[in-house]
Amino acid sequence: MQGADVDEACEIVGLAFADNPSTLAVAGDRTSALRIMRAGVRIAKFDRPCSCALVASDARRAVGVLNAAEWPGCQMSMREKIPSAFAMIRIMGVALPRMLKLIGARAGHDPRERHWHVGPIGVHPAAQGRGVGKALLNAFLAMADEHRSPAFLETDVDKNVELYEKFGFEVVGEEKILGISNRFMWRAASTRGRIA
Ligand SMILES: CC(C)(COP(=O)(O)OP(=O)(O)OC[C@H]1O[C@@H](n2cnc3c(N)ncnc32)[C@H](O)[C@@H]1OP(=O)(O)O)[C@@H](O)C(=O)NCCC(=O)NCCS
């Protein structure tokens, strides 16, 4: 992702996650879900120095984005949380306690060993189902395999569990958070790439 892609990437994540079960459980309604994801992903993911984001584009514009961060940087440290706290309170408003509950519960499943933590991955709704998500996963996992690194992600959508299983992830944990079933998925390191 280049600097100029960030606005488009935030817009895609907002649109892709506006109907996501956990985002709706946090935000309360679709309009707030879109706004919270669009603004929150910039601070919580893309603006962070450890963020590694891939953008898929057609001839005219970005259509999909995949973000990943390497453990332990995938979880925000207290040093990072303090400067961004005011912005997060402004964006989240009354949804903040629910967002903190979701983030905290998911963080409890983060494996305490080397891995790339994938997420979010979002494709513009008008471009979904055309292979963009698979192309992003292929590109990212080729890099992870090259470095013999495991990968980890969480999802709350059954259809996505099947998608990730096709890429070698397996469910290693499950927890109901805010009434939504979250699955935690692990993909072992390749033994064929070069050692990082
Ligand atoms: C999940 C997502 C990233 C997949 O990207 P995509 O470009 O739509 O998917 P692709 O065309 O590359 O691959 C299709 C596969 O993804 C799965 N899939 C998940 N959501 C889908 C959707 N809304 N439309 C089509 N396929 C979807 C299907 O299982 C499908 O498998 P198949 O081709 O064997 O039938 C994208 O649909 C999306 O942004 N969804 C909303 C946000 C989201 O759920 N993100 C992931 C959170 S863990």
Q: Does 137 fall in a domain?
A: yes
Angle at 64 between CA 77 and CA 185, to 5 degrees: 55
Q: In the prediction, which pLDDT does 194 show?
A: 63
Q: What is the pLDDT of residues 97-120, one digit of tens each?
A: 999 999 999 999 999 999 999 999
Q: Tell which one of 10, 102, 163, 169 to mutate to probe ligand 1, the residue whose CB is within 8 A of the most ligand atoms.
A: 163
Q: In the prediction, which pLDDT does 195 show?
A: 59
Q: In the prediction, which pLDDT does 192 show?
A: 78
Which pTM was predicted? 0.95
Q: What is the CATH number of the domain that holds 29?
A: 3.40.630.30
Structure tokens at 114: 């080397």
Q: Does 49 fall in a domain?
A: yes
Q: Does 56 fall in a domain?
A: yes
Domain of residue 37: give its range: 3-187
What separation in Å is there between the alpha carbon of 160 and the centre of ligand 1? 6
Q: Does 193 fall in a domain?
A: no
- Ligand 1, atom 31, lies closest to the CA of 163
Ligand 1 pocket, CB under 6 A: 16-17, 20, 121-123, 128-134, 155, 157, 159-160, 162-163
What separation in Å is there between the alpha carbon of 112 and the centre of ligand 1? 28
**Does the pLDDT at position 193 exceed 70?**
no
For the chain, the domain total comes to 1
Q: Does 196 fall in a domain?
A: no
**Cα separation, 20 vs 165, whole angstroms:** 19
- Mean pLDDT score of the chain, rounded to an integer? 95
Q: Does 192 fall in a domain?
A: no
Q: Does 138 fall in a domain?
A: yes
Q: Does 144 fall in a domain?
A: yes
